[in-house]
Amino acid sequence: MLLEENLRRVEQNIEAAAERGEHAAEAVTLLAVSKTKPASAIRELYEAGQRDFGENYVQELREKAAELPKDIRWHMIGHLQRNKVKYIAEYVSMIHSVDSLALAETIEKEAAKYDRIIPVLVEVNVAGEDTKFGVLPEDADALVRQISALPHVAVRGYMTSAPYTDTPEENRVYFRKLRELSVDTHLKNYNNVNMGVLSMGMSNDYEVAVEEGATLVRVGTSIFGARQYVNR
Ligand SMILES: *Cc1c(COP(=O)(O)O)cnc(C)c1O
C-alpha cells in the first residue's frame, strides 16, 4: 500500500523533528489534507489508522463525509464563506480558517442550532502576504478575545500557512512568531479559550514547523501525491 507507506514516512519525519525541537511527538496531530483526492484514497488511509482529514471546499467535504466512516474527524482548512457554514456545522471537527468576527458569529449561530460547540482556530497571515487570508499578527489577539464571548465557538489556537518556498528554513521565523503570539494569547487567560493547537506546516515545511512547536501539521502532497486541478 503506497499511501500507507507515505503516511508512515511522514509520521517518522514528525517524530524525528519533534525530537530535534525537544517537543513530545505524541502531541503532534497529523492532518491528512485530502482535497481533490478521491474517497477511495481516504479510505485506504483510514484503514491504515488515519482519522484526521482536512478539506478546503465545503461541497467536497460534504460529499466525502456522507460516504465515508462516521468516526473520521473532518477539518475545514480552506477559506470559508459565511453562507456555507450551515452545511458543515453539524459535524465538522474543527474550522482552521476563522479570520473575522462576522464569520465566528455565523459559526456561533449555526453551532447553536445543533446544540454543539465548534472548535476553531484563528488564521493568522504571519508573513503579511497580500495574497493570503488571515488576520495580521497584531490583530489576532483582539479577534480571539472577541470570539471568546461566543458560547458555541471555542478558540483552540492559531493557524497559519507560511509562504511557499523551496527553502523551508526561510519559514522558521514565521513559525516561531506564531508560537510566540500563541503564548502571549495563552497568558491572557481568556474565558472559553485554550491555545493548545498550533496548526502550521505543510508538505514542504512541516518538519521545520514541528521543530518550532507545531501541534498540528497539514500535509497533503507528501501523503497523497501531487494534486491535479480540473477547471476549478
Ligand atoms: C492544500 C493545503 C495544505 C496541504 O498542502 P501540501 O503542500 O499539499 O501539503 C495545507 N494547508 C492548507 C490551508 C491547504 O490549503
CB-defined site of ligand 1, < 6 Å: 33, 35, 56, 77-78, 161, 202-204, 218-222
CA 6 to chain centre: 20
Residue 131: per-residue pLDDT:
87
Q: How far apart are CA 131 and CA 113, in angstroms?
A: 34
| Cα gap 175→160, rounded to integer Å | 8
Residue whose Cα lies nearest atom 4 of ligand 1: it is 220
| DSSP per-residue codes, the chain | -HHHHHHHHHHHHHHHHHHHTT--GGGPEEEEE-TT--HHHHHHHHHTT--EEEES-HHHHHHHHHHS-TT-EEEE-S---GGGHHHHTTT-SEEEEE--HHHHHHHHHHHHHTT--EEEEEEB-TT--TT--SB-HHHHHHHHHHHTT-TTEEEEEEE--PPP-S-GGGGHHHHHHHHHHHHHHHHT--TTEEEEEEE---TTTHHHHHHTT-SEEEESHHHH--------
- Intervals of the chain under pLDDT 70: 1, 230-232
The pLDDT score that the predictor gives to residue 16 is 98
Q: Give residue 93's pLDDT.
A: 98
Query: Which atom of ligand 1 is nearest the CA belonging to 77?
Result: 13
209 vs 21: CA distance, rounded Å: 9
Residue 203 CA: nearest ligand 1 atom is: 9
For residue 134, the CA-to-ligand 1 centroid distance in Å is 15
The whole-number pLDDT of residue 230 equals 66
Ligand 1: distance of its center to the CA of 78 in Å? 9
Nearest atom (ligand 1) to Cα of 35: 1
The pLDDT tens digits for 22-55 are: 999 999 999 999 999 999 999 999 999 999 999 9
**Ligand 1 nearest-atom number relative to CA 56:** 15
- pTM given for the model: 0.97
- End-to-end C-alpha distance for the chain, whole angstroms: 29
What is the whole-number distance in angstroms between the Cα of residue 149 and the centre of ligand 1? 30
